[in-house]
Amino acid sequence: MSDKSGTLTDGQKRQFVTEGYLIMKGLYSPNELEEIERTFEEISHRFIPGHFEPVLNASSADPLSRYPRVMQPHRFDETALRYMLHEPVLDVLTDLFEEEPLAAQSMFYYKPPGSRGQALHQDNFYLKVEPGNCIAAWLAVDSADMENGGMLVVPKTQEHEIVCPELADESESFTKHLVKVPEGTKAIPAVMEKGDVLFFNGNLIHGSFRNKTKDRFRRAFICHYAGQSAMRIASHYRPLLRADGSVAETDINHEGGPCGVEFEALYPH
Ligand SMILES: O=C(O)CCC(=O)C(=O)O
């Protein structure tokens, strides 16, 4: 763990606290981005049970059957683990949590041309970090805009409670849940250049639309973190890892959340 403190300016911290998100540049070098691209290009040709299950010779109309997202790659790939624990990202998170961050989840989205988006949702509905909250670090491996299905955020909704989602339109979203944009708020595009990292609060409503392009992937390496004072988290996200890769003790959060304990298919988000 780095002993650096004060990575963020007061303005950047204020942006995160008041708006619920923050975009940072320059946390990855061109060589590091290239290593991430190479790693997931290699993974894209494999079948890794429980993590990445593509139809490798897919002729399906759904581009996501050939390129589903990769779940928890840090559990089978050393490079993914190293970048989930990337020091410049952890330094930003230390400022945002005001304590040591613990890594809970990694994912890689290929989001090829034509693929569906992910309907608006709140991450801590799924992670159930308590006490405190989770924070996402979303790395743009390709530049991301509204044409290729870049991220949408609803500023200031980090102040809102976690709500029980409605059903999403699965012809447009590959996930089942939708949290509607609350009255008086608006979803705005988070336009990002390759290498930018979007940090956002676990209550912030966010998601993405379809990749409307014919030839531009929208790849992203996405990790979720909790603060070290978190005592419980949903079981799929354990074990939480410290910066040196060691396991931090946490309990399973069995609470049902705003939909109640009967709600099925809480995971994956
Ligand atoms: O990358 C996307 O399109 C959505 C990702 C997302 O919403 C998440 O990781 O929580």
Per-residue model confidence as pLDDT tens digits over 159-189: 999 999 999 999 999 999 999 999 999 999 9
Assign 178 to helix, strand or coil: strand
Is the CB of 69 inside a 6 Å radius of any atom of ligand 1? no
**CA-nearest residue, atom 4 of ligand 1:** 207
- Which of 70, 176, 204, 222 has most ligand 1 atoms within 8 Å of CB, for mutation? 222
Q: What is the pTM of this model?
A: 0.95
Cβ(186)–Cβ(100) under 8 Å?
Answer: no
Residue 182 DSSP code = P
Return all residues near 41 (Cβ < 8 A) that are at least 6 apart. none
250: helix, coil or strand? coil
Q: Is the CB of 153 under 6 A from ligand 1?
A: no
Alpha helices in the chain (DSSP H): 10-19, 30-43, 63-66, 78-84, 87-97, 124-127
Residue 225 sits at the vertex; the CA angle it makes with 221 and 226, to the nearest 5 degrees, is 170
Q: Which residue lies with its CA nearest to atom 3 of ligand 1?
A: 208
**Alpha-carbon distance values, 1 to 75, 88, 107, 177, 262 (Å):** 20, 11, 22, 36, 39
d(CA 76, CA 80): 8
Cβ–ligand 1 distance for 109 under 6 Å, the answer yes
CA distance linking residue 111 with residue 134, whole number of Å: 24
State the closest ligand 1 atom to the C-alpha of 111, by its place in the atom list counted from 1: 3
Helical residues (DSSP H) of 51-128, grouped into ranges: 63-66, 78-84, 87-97, 124-127
> What is the rounded average pLDDT for all residues in the chain?
94
- Number of Cβ within 10 Å of residue 174's Cβ equals 18
DSSP helix/strand/coil, 233: strand
Per-residue pLDDT tens digits for 200-214: 999 999 999 999 999
**In the chain, % of residues over pLDDT 90:** 91
Atom of ligand 1 nearest to the CA of 206: 7
Q: Does the pLDDT value for residue 265 go beyond 60?
A: no
Q: Which residue(s) pair with 198 in the sheet?
A: 23, 138
Contact assessment for residue 79 and residue 35, using Cβ atoms and an 8 Å cutoff: yes
Per-residue pLDDT, 1: 43
Which residue out of 175, 208, 219 has the highest number of ligand 1 atoms within 8 Å of its CB and is therefore the one to mutate? 208
92-123 pLDDT per residue, tens? 999 999 999 999 999 999 999 999 999 999 99
Q: Looking at the predicted structure, is the pLDDT value of residue 217 above 80?
A: yes
pLDDT-derived band at 261, boundaries 50, 70, 90:
low
Q: Which atom of ligand 1 approaches the CA of 138 most closely?
A: 9
Report the distance separating Cα 207 and Cα 139, nearest Å: 14
Distance of CA 187 to the CA centre of its chain: 17
* Distance in Å, CA 138 to ligand 1 centroid: 8
